[in-house]
C-alpha cells in the first residue's frame, strides 16, 4: 500500500513539473535582482542567467505607465494645488501600470504577455522618483502576476516548439 501510494505521488509530482526552457539571458526594466531571484527558483527558468550575454534566447520584463483620462485631469489639478502650496500638498497621480513579459529569440518576440493594473499615488513634488525600482503595492501586484505569466509562457505553443527544437538539436543523445 505504501509503495503504491509513494509511486502515485512521485508520478503526480513528476507530471506537475514544468520542463525547463533552454539557457536564456534575463533583463528587466525595474527591480532586476529581485525579479531574477524569484524567477530563477521556478523550474521553468532554472537555466536562466542574468549574465548570459549574447544568448539567442532572452526573457525581458518591462514596465510602462499609461495615463488615464481621469488621471490626467486629477494630476493637473493636483499639480496646480501642490505648486500653489509650494509643495506642502502632494501631487496625486492615477495611472495604469503595464507589465510585459516577453521571450525573444535572436531579437524577435516569440511570446509576449501583458498585465495591467490601475494605481493612485500621492508623491511629494520635490522627491526624486526612481523609475528603475517599484515598491509598495505596485511591486506586490507585479509579484502576483508572475505565476500567471509563467503559466501563459509554459502553455504558449511557440515556446513549446522552441523547447522541442532545442531538445532535438542539443538534447542528450
Instruction: Give 99-119 pLDDT, tens digit per residue.
Output: 999 999 999 999 999 999 999
Beta bridge partners of 112: 102
What is the dihedral sign for C-alpha 56, 166, 17, 2?
Answer: negative
Q: What is the pTM of this model?
A: 0.79
Pick from 117-126, 128-137, 145-154 the range whose average pLDDT is largest.
145-154
Give the span between the Cα atoms of 100 and 60, in whole angstroms.
8
**pLDDT above 90 as % of the chain:** 54
Q: In what order do the strands lie in the sheet with 108-123?
A: 48-49, 24-28, 57-67, 91-105, 108-123
Give me the pLDDT at residue 144, please. Answer: 96
75-83 average pLDDT score? 78
5-12 average pLDDT score? 36
Instruction: Give per-residue pLDDT as tens, 13-57.
Output: 333 445 889 999 999 999 999 999 999 999 999 999 988 888 999
Residue 40 contacts residue 46 (beta carbons within 8 Å): yes
Helix (H), strand (E), coil (C) string for the chain: CHHHHHHHHHHHHHHHCCCCCCCEEEEECCCHHHHHHHHHCCHHHCCEECCCCCCCEEEEEEEEEEECHHHHHHHHHHHHHHHHCCCCCCEEEEEEEEEEEEEEECCEEEEEEEEEEEEEEEECCCCCCCCCCCCHHHHHHHHHHHHHHHHHHHHCHHHHHHHHHHHHHHCCC
Amino acid at each position: 500500500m505504501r509503495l503504491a501510494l509513494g509511486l502515485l505521488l512521485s508520478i503526480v509530482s513528476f507530471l506537475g513539473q514544468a520542463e525547463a526552457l533552454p539557457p536564456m539571458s534575463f533583463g528587466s526594466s525595474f527591480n532586476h535582482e529581485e525579479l531574477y531571484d524569484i524567477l530563477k527558483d521556478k523550474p521553468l527558468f532554472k537555466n536562466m542567467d542574468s549574465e548570459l550575454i549574447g544568448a539567442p534566447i532572452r526573457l525581458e520584463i518591462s514596465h510602462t505607465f499609461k495615463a488615464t483620462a481621469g488621471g490626467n485631469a486629477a494630476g493637473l489639478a493636483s499639480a496646480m494645488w501642490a505648486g500653489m502650496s509650494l509643495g506642502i500638498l502632494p501631487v496625486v497621480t492615477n495611472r495604469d501600470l503595464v507589465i510585459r513579459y516577453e521571450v525573444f529569440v535572436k531579437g524577435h518576440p516569440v511570446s509576449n504577455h501583458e498585465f495591467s493594473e490601475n494605481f493612485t499615488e500621492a508623491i511629494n513634488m520635490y522627491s526624486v522618483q526612481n523609475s528603475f525600482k517599484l515598491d509598495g503595492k505596485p511591486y506586490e501586484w507585479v509579484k502576483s502576476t508572475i505565476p500567471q505569466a509563467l503559466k501563459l509562457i509554459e502553455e504558449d505553443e511557440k515556446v513549446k516548439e522552441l523547447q522541442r527544437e532545442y531538445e532535438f538539436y542539443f538534447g542528450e543523445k
